[in-house]
Amino acid sequence: MIDTSKPIVRSAASTATRSGAQHSLHRYRFLLLALLVVCVLPLTLRSGSLATEVLVFALAALGCNLLLGHTGLLSFGQGIFFGLGSYCAGLVLTKTALPVPVALLASIVIGAAAAALVGWFSIRQRGTYFVMLTLAFGQLFYFLAYTTPDLTGGDNGLLDIPRPALGLFGKALLPLTSPWQYYGFVAVLFLVVFWLLMRVSHSVFGRTLLAIRDNEVRAAAVGYDVKRFKLMAFVISGAVTGLAGALHALMTGIAPLSNIDYHTSEMILVMTVIGGTGNLFASVLGAAFYVLFADWLSTLWPRWLLLLGIVLIAVSLFMQRGLWGLGERIGQSLRRKPSAEPDNDTDNDTDNDAGKEPI
Protein backbone atom coordinates (compact mmCIF):
# COMPACT_ATOMS: atom_id res chain seq x y z
CA MET A 1 0.00 0.00 0.00
CA ILE A 2 1.41 3.39 -1.00
CA ASP A 3 1.86 5.94 1.76
CA THR A 4 0.92 9.37 0.39
CA SER A 5 1.03 11.22 3.70
CA LYS A 6 4.65 12.36 3.39
CA PRO A 7 4.24 14.11 0.01
CA ILE A 8 1.13 15.83 1.34
CA VAL A 9 3.01 17.00 4.42
CA ARG A 10 5.91 18.21 2.31
CA SER A 11 3.50 20.02 -0.03
CA ALA A 12 1.77 21.75 2.87
CA ALA A 13 5.10 22.72 4.38
CA SER A 14 6.36 24.13 1.09
CA THR A 15 3.11 26.06 0.63
CA ALA A 16 3.42 27.54 4.12
CA THR A 17 7.04 28.46 3.40
CA ARG A 18 6.09 30.19 0.15
CA SER A 19 3.25 32.02 1.90
CA GLY A 20 5.60 33.21 4.66
CA ALA A 21 8.15 34.36 2.09
CA GLN A 22 5.47 36.31 0.23
CA HIS A 23 4.34 38.04 3.43
CA SER A 24 7.95 38.93 4.26
CA LEU A 25 8.37 40.34 0.77
CA HIS A 26 5.25 42.46 1.21
CA ARG A 27 6.55 43.79 4.52
CA TYR A 28 9.88 44.79 3.04
CA ARG A 29 8.17 46.31 0.01
CA PHE A 30 6.00 48.58 2.16
CA LEU A 31 8.96 49.42 4.37
CA LEU A 32 10.89 50.49 1.27
CA LEU A 33 7.92 52.62 0.20
CA ALA A 34 7.88 54.28 3.62
CA LEU A 35 11.63 54.88 3.35
CA LEU A 36 11.05 56.39 -0.10
CA VAL A 37 8.49 58.82 1.35
CA VAL A 38 10.94 59.82 4.08
CA CYS A 39 13.63 60.53 1.47
CA VAL A 40 11.34 62.32 -1.00
CA LEU A 41 9.83 64.80 1.45
CA PRO A 42 13.06 66.80 2.02
CA LEU A 43 13.62 66.91 -1.76
CA THR A 44 10.15 68.24 -2.57
CA LEU A 45 9.31 70.48 0.41
CA ARG A 46 11.10 73.62 1.50
CA SER A 47 9.68 73.60 5.01
CA GLY A 48 11.13 71.12 7.46
CA SER A 49 8.22 71.70 9.82
CA LEU A 50 5.71 70.78 7.10
CA ALA A 51 7.62 67.60 6.27
CA THR A 52 7.74 66.70 9.97
CA GLU A 53 4.01 67.32 10.28
CA VAL A 54 3.38 64.81 7.51
CA LEU A 55 5.25 62.08 9.39
CA VAL A 56 3.69 62.98 12.75
CA PHE A 57 0.15 62.66 11.43
CA ALA A 58 1.16 59.59 9.46
CA LEU A 59 1.98 57.99 12.82
CA ALA A 60 -1.42 59.02 14.18
CA ALA A 61 -3.14 57.61 11.07
CA LEU A 62 -1.22 54.34 11.47
CA GLY A 63 -2.62 53.95 14.97
CA CYS A 64 -6.12 54.73 13.74
CA ASN A 65 -5.82 52.28 10.85
CA LEU A 66 -4.99 49.46 13.25
CA LEU A 67 -8.39 50.05 14.84
CA LEU A 68 -10.50 50.94 11.82
CA GLY A 69 -8.90 48.96 9.02
CA HIS A 70 -7.74 45.87 10.89
CA THR A 71 -10.28 45.58 13.71
CA GLY A 72 -13.30 47.38 12.27
CA LEU A 73 -13.59 49.87 15.16
CA LEU A 74 -14.59 53.42 14.22
CA SER A 75 -13.15 55.36 17.14
CA PHE A 76 -13.57 59.08 17.79
CA GLY A 77 -11.20 58.87 20.73
CA GLN A 78 -7.91 59.22 18.86
CA GLY A 79 -7.73 62.89 19.82
CA ILE A 80 -7.64 61.82 23.49
CA PHE A 81 -4.41 59.89 23.02
CA PHE A 82 -2.91 62.54 20.75
CA GLY A 83 -3.67 65.33 23.21
CA LEU A 84 -2.52 63.41 26.27
CA GLY A 85 0.74 62.60 24.50
CA SER A 86 1.24 66.31 23.82
CA TYR A 87 0.50 67.29 27.42
CA CYS A 88 2.66 64.54 28.87
CA ALA A 89 5.71 65.45 26.79
CA GLY A 90 5.20 69.14 27.54
CA LEU A 91 4.91 68.59 31.30
CA VAL A 92 7.96 66.33 31.44
CA LEU A 93 10.14 68.77 29.49
CA THR A 94 8.92 71.96 31.20
CA LYS A 95 8.67 70.72 34.80
CA THR A 96 11.66 68.39 34.94
CA ALA A 97 15.16 68.13 33.51
CA LEU A 98 14.54 64.70 31.99
CA PRO A 99 15.73 64.08 28.40
CA VAL A 100 13.57 63.81 25.28
CA PRO A 101 13.52 59.98 25.13
CA VAL A 102 12.04 59.83 28.63
CA ALA A 103 9.35 62.36 27.65
CA LEU A 104 8.48 60.31 24.56
CA LEU A 105 8.38 57.09 26.55
CA ALA A 106 6.09 58.71 29.12
CA SER A 107 3.78 59.85 26.31
CA ILE A 108 3.63 56.33 24.91
CA VAL A 109 2.73 54.94 28.34
CA ILE A 110 0.06 57.57 29.04
CA GLY A 111 -1.43 57.06 25.58
CA ALA A 112 -1.58 53.30 26.10
CA ALA A 113 -3.10 53.70 29.58
CA ALA A 114 -5.78 56.10 28.35
CA ALA A 115 -6.56 53.76 25.45
CA ALA A 116 -6.90 50.85 27.88
CA LEU A 117 -9.40 52.86 29.93
CA VAL A 118 -11.43 54.07 26.94
CA GLY A 119 -11.28 50.70 25.23
CA TRP A 120 -12.30 48.73 28.33
CA PHE A 121 -15.66 50.54 28.39
CA SER A 122 -16.17 51.07 24.66
CA ILE A 123 -15.62 47.52 23.38
CA ARG A 124 -18.62 46.37 25.37
CA GLN A 125 -20.83 48.01 22.76
CA ARG A 126 -20.99 47.73 18.98
CA GLY A 127 -21.89 49.91 16.07
CA THR A 128 -23.45 53.28 16.84
CA TYR A 129 -23.20 52.88 20.61
CA PHE A 130 -19.47 52.15 20.36
CA VAL A 131 -18.97 55.32 18.31
CA MET A 132 -21.05 57.35 20.79
CA LEU A 133 -18.99 56.06 23.72
CA THR A 134 -15.68 57.04 22.14
CA LEU A 135 -17.12 60.44 21.25
CA ALA A 136 -18.36 60.90 24.82
CA PHE A 137 -14.93 60.01 26.19
CA GLY A 138 -13.41 62.53 23.80
CA GLN A 139 -15.63 65.30 25.15
CA LEU A 140 -14.96 64.18 28.74
CA PHE A 141 -11.17 64.42 28.36
CA TYR A 142 -11.50 67.72 26.51
CA PHE A 143 -13.39 69.36 29.38
CA LEU A 144 -11.04 67.82 31.94
CA ALA A 145 -8.15 69.49 30.14
CA TYR A 146 -10.09 72.73 29.85
CA THR A 147 -10.98 72.87 33.55
CA THR A 148 -7.47 72.10 34.87
CA PRO A 149 -5.45 75.14 33.72
CA ASP A 150 -2.79 74.61 36.40
CA LEU A 151 -1.87 71.32 34.76
CA THR A 152 -2.73 71.76 31.07
CA GLY A 153 -2.73 75.52 30.63
CA GLY A 154 -6.47 75.52 30.01
CA ASP A 155 -7.55 77.41 26.92
CA ASN A 156 -4.01 78.63 26.28
CA GLY A 157 -2.40 75.21 26.40
CA LEU A 158 1.14 74.45 27.48
CA LEU A 159 3.56 77.03 26.10
CA ASP A 160 7.33 77.23 25.61
CA ILE A 161 7.96 73.49 25.42
CA PRO A 162 11.73 73.07 24.92
CA ARG A 163 13.35 70.76 22.41
CA PRO A 164 16.68 69.83 24.00
CA ALA A 165 19.38 67.97 22.13
CA LEU A 166 19.66 64.23 22.36
CA GLY A 167 22.55 63.30 24.61
CA LEU A 168 24.24 60.62 26.61
CA PHE A 169 25.53 61.05 30.17
CA GLY A 170 24.84 64.78 30.05
CA LYS A 171 26.70 65.30 26.77
CA ALA A 172 24.74 66.61 23.77
CA LEU A 173 25.18 64.32 20.77
CA LEU A 174 22.41 65.23 18.32
CA PRO A 175 20.97 68.76 18.30
CA LEU A 176 17.30 69.16 17.38
CA THR A 177 17.22 72.93 17.04
CA SER A 178 16.66 73.28 13.29
CA PRO A 179 13.49 71.94 11.61
CA TRP A 180 15.43 69.56 9.37
CA GLN A 181 17.43 68.15 12.26
CA TYR A 182 14.20 67.42 14.06
CA TYR A 183 12.77 65.94 10.86
CA GLY A 184 15.60 63.43 10.74
CA PHE A 185 14.88 62.38 14.32
CA VAL A 186 11.14 62.00 13.63
CA ALA A 187 11.86 60.10 10.39
CA VAL A 188 13.88 57.47 12.25
CA LEU A 189 11.13 57.02 14.84
CA PHE A 190 8.50 56.85 12.09
CA LEU A 191 10.34 54.08 10.24
CA VAL A 192 10.83 52.08 13.44
CA VAL A 193 7.15 52.34 14.39
CA PHE A 194 6.04 51.56 10.83
CA TRP A 195 8.18 48.41 10.79
CA LEU A 196 6.85 47.31 14.18
CA LEU A 197 3.24 47.82 13.12
CA MET A 198 3.89 45.89 9.92
CA ARG A 199 5.16 43.02 12.06
CA VAL A 200 2.05 43.27 14.24
CA SER A 201 -0.37 43.36 11.29
CA HIS A 202 1.25 40.30 9.64
CA SER A 203 1.44 38.29 12.87
CA VAL A 204 -1.10 35.83 14.24
CA PHE A 205 -2.44 38.66 16.38
CA GLY A 206 -2.96 40.86 13.31
CA ARG A 207 -4.71 38.09 11.39
CA THR A 208 -6.97 37.48 14.36
CA LEU A 209 -7.94 41.15 14.29
CA LEU A 210 -8.85 40.75 10.60
CA ALA A 211 -11.00 37.74 11.47
CA ILE A 212 -12.78 39.78 14.15
CA ARG A 213 -13.31 42.60 11.67
CA ASP A 214 -14.78 40.30 9.03
CA ASN A 215 -16.98 38.17 11.29
CA GLU A 216 -16.88 38.85 15.00
CA VAL A 217 -19.47 36.20 15.87
CA ARG A 218 -17.58 33.47 14.04
CA ALA A 219 -14.27 34.53 15.63
CA ALA A 220 -15.87 34.26 19.08
CA ALA A 221 -17.38 30.90 18.19
CA VAL A 222 -13.98 29.56 17.16
CA GLY A 223 -12.70 30.40 20.63
CA TYR A 224 -10.98 33.78 20.38
CA ASP A 225 -11.41 36.21 23.26
CA VAL A 226 -12.75 39.04 21.08
CA LYS A 227 -12.83 41.66 23.82
CA ARG A 228 -9.24 40.99 24.80
CA PHE A 229 -8.01 41.32 21.22
CA LYS A 230 -9.97 44.54 20.74
CA LEU A 231 -8.54 45.96 23.95
CA MET A 232 -4.99 45.07 22.87
CA ALA A 233 -5.58 46.80 19.54
CA PHE A 234 -6.79 49.87 21.45
CA VAL A 235 -3.68 49.89 23.64
CA ILE A 236 -1.30 49.65 20.67
CA SER A 237 -3.21 52.36 18.81
CA GLY A 238 -3.18 54.64 21.86
CA ALA A 239 0.56 54.16 22.37
CA VAL A 240 1.38 55.09 18.75
CA THR A 241 -1.00 58.05 18.78
CA GLY A 242 0.42 59.29 22.09
CA LEU A 243 3.89 59.22 20.54
CA ALA A 244 2.58 61.23 17.59
CA GLY A 245 1.11 63.83 19.95
CA ALA A 246 4.40 64.16 21.82
CA LEU A 247 6.35 64.64 18.60
CA HIS A 248 3.82 67.27 17.50
CA ALA A 249 4.26 69.19 20.77
CA LEU A 250 8.04 69.13 20.36
CA MET A 251 7.69 70.34 16.78
CA THR A 252 5.44 73.32 17.54
CA GLY A 253 6.73 74.12 21.05
CA ILE A 254 3.18 74.14 22.44
CA ALA A 255 0.52 71.63 23.47
CA PRO A 256 -2.73 73.41 22.56
CA LEU A 257 -6.16 72.49 23.86
CA SER A 258 -7.22 71.75 20.27
CA ASN A 259 -4.97 68.66 20.28
CA ILE A 260 -7.37 66.87 22.59
CA ASP A 261 -10.51 68.15 20.90
CA TYR A 262 -12.75 65.76 18.98
CA HIS A 263 -11.90 67.69 15.81
CA THR A 264 -8.44 66.14 16.04
CA SER A 265 -10.07 62.70 16.11
CA GLU A 266 -12.07 63.63 13.03
CA MET A 267 -8.95 64.82 11.23
CA ILE A 268 -7.06 61.59 11.99
CA LEU A 269 -10.04 59.54 10.83
CA VAL A 270 -10.29 61.54 7.60
CA MET A 271 -6.60 60.94 6.89
CA THR A 272 -7.09 57.22 7.42
CA VAL A 273 -10.13 57.04 5.16
CA ILE A 274 -8.55 59.14 2.40
CA GLY A 275 -5.51 56.88 2.31
CA GLY A 276 -7.48 53.66 2.53
CA THR A 277 -8.25 51.32 5.42
CA GLY A 278 -6.72 47.90 5.84
CA ASN A 279 -3.28 48.88 4.50
CA LEU A 280 -0.78 50.62 6.76
CA PHE A 281 1.12 52.38 3.99
CA ALA A 282 -2.18 53.84 2.80
CA SER A 283 -2.29 55.79 6.08
CA VAL A 284 0.99 57.45 5.11
CA LEU A 285 -0.53 58.45 1.77
CA GLY A 286 -3.66 59.79 3.46
CA ALA A 287 -1.71 61.87 5.98
CA ALA A 288 0.60 63.28 3.29
CA PHE A 289 -2.35 64.14 1.04
CA TYR A 290 -4.33 65.81 3.84
CA VAL A 291 -1.46 67.85 5.29
CA LEU A 292 0.00 68.98 1.96
CA PHE A 293 -3.36 69.57 0.29
CA ALA A 294 -4.64 71.55 3.27
CA ASP A 295 -1.46 73.63 3.31
CA TRP A 296 -1.87 74.39 -0.40
CA LEU A 297 -5.59 75.18 -0.14
CA SER A 298 -5.03 77.51 2.82
CA THR A 299 -2.87 79.71 0.56
CA LEU A 300 -5.64 79.91 -2.04
CA TRP A 301 -8.70 80.71 0.04
CA PRO A 302 -9.26 81.43 3.75
CA ARG A 303 -12.26 79.10 3.76
CA TRP A 304 -10.29 76.19 2.41
CA LEU A 305 -12.17 73.69 4.57
CA LEU A 306 -15.09 74.03 2.17
CA LEU A 307 -12.91 72.84 -0.70
CA LEU A 308 -11.56 70.04 1.45
CA GLY A 309 -15.13 68.96 2.17
CA ILE A 310 -15.80 68.69 -1.57
CA VAL A 311 -12.71 66.49 -1.93
CA LEU A 312 -13.94 64.25 0.89
CA ILE A 313 -17.33 63.91 -0.80
CA ALA A 314 -15.58 62.86 -4.01
CA VAL A 315 -13.51 60.30 -2.11
CA SER A 316 -16.63 58.88 -0.46
CA LEU A 317 -18.46 58.58 -3.78
CA PHE A 318 -15.76 57.47 -6.19
CA MET A 319 -12.76 56.24 -4.15
CA GLN A 320 -14.24 54.15 -1.35
CA ARG A 321 -10.92 52.31 -0.94
CA GLY A 322 -9.00 55.57 -0.77
CA LEU A 323 -5.85 56.60 -2.57
CA TRP A 324 -4.32 53.15 -2.18
CA GLY A 325 -7.33 51.51 -3.82
CA LEU A 326 -7.17 54.04 -6.65
CA GLY A 327 -3.52 53.20 -7.22
CA GLU A 328 -4.32 49.48 -7.28
CA ARG A 329 -7.06 50.01 -9.87
CA ILE A 330 -4.73 52.05 -12.06
CA GLY A 331 -2.03 49.38 -11.77
CA GLN A 332 -4.50 46.60 -12.68
CA SER A 333 -5.77 48.51 -15.71
CA LEU A 334 -2.20 49.08 -16.92
CA ARG A 335 -1.43 45.37 -16.55
CA ARG A 336 -4.56 44.41 -18.48
CA LYS A 337 -3.87 46.64 -21.47
CA PRO A 338 -1.05 44.61 -23.06
CA SER A 339 -3.02 41.38 -22.71
CA ALA A 340 -6.20 42.99 -24.02
CA GLU A 341 -4.60 44.14 -27.28
CA PRO A 342 -5.42 41.70 -30.10
CA ASP A 343 -2.62 39.88 -31.89
CA ASN A 344 -2.94 41.06 -35.51
CA ASP A 345 -0.86 38.23 -36.94
CA THR A 346 -2.93 35.61 -35.19
CA ASP A 347 -6.19 37.23 -36.32
CA ASN A 348 -5.02 37.39 -39.94
CA ASP A 349 -3.92 33.77 -39.88
CA THR A 350 -7.26 32.77 -38.40
CA ASP A 351 -9.18 34.67 -41.05
CA ASN A 352 -7.13 33.16 -43.85
CA ASP A 353 -7.61 29.66 -42.48
CA ALA A 354 -11.34 30.29 -42.13
CA GLY A 355 -11.61 31.20 -45.82
CA LYS A 356 -10.03 27.94 -47.02
CA GLU A 357 -12.14 24.96 -47.93
CA PRO A 358 -11.41 21.73 -46.13
CA ILE A 359 -9.51 19.15 -48.16
The domains found in the chain, sorted by start residue, are 48-295 (1.10.3470)
In angstroms, what CA-CA distances link 36 with 19, 39, 42, 47, 284?
Answer: 26, 5, 11, 18, 11
Report, as an integer, the average pLDDT of 261-283.
Answer: 90
pLDDT higher at 29 or 51: 51
Lowest-confidence segment of 205-214, 258-267, 326-335 by average pLDDT: 326-335
What residues have CB less than 8 Å from 212, skipping those under 6 apart? 71, 72, 219, 224, 226, 229, 230
Q: How many angstroms separate the CA atoms of 54 and 288, rounded?
A: 5
For residue 338, the model assigns a pLDDT of 59
What are 225-249's pLDDT values in tens digits? Answer: 999 999 999 999 999 999 999 999 9
How many Cβ atoms are within 10 Å of 222's Cβ, its own excluded?
Answer: 10
154 C-beta neighbours (distance < 10 Å), count: 14
Q: Crossing angle, helix 127-146 and helix 262-275, to 10 degrees?
A: 130
Evaluate whether 236 touches 66 at the Cβ level (below 8 Å).
yes
Q: What is the pLDDT of residues 287-321, one digit of tens each?
A: 999 999 888 888 888 788 888 888 888 877 877 77
Percent of the chain with pLDDT over 70: 84
On the question of pLDDT at 11 being above 70, the answer is: no
Q: Which of 71, 75, 13 is nearest to 278 (CA)?
A: 71
Q: What's the rounded Cα separation, in Å, for the pair 132 and 321?
A: 25
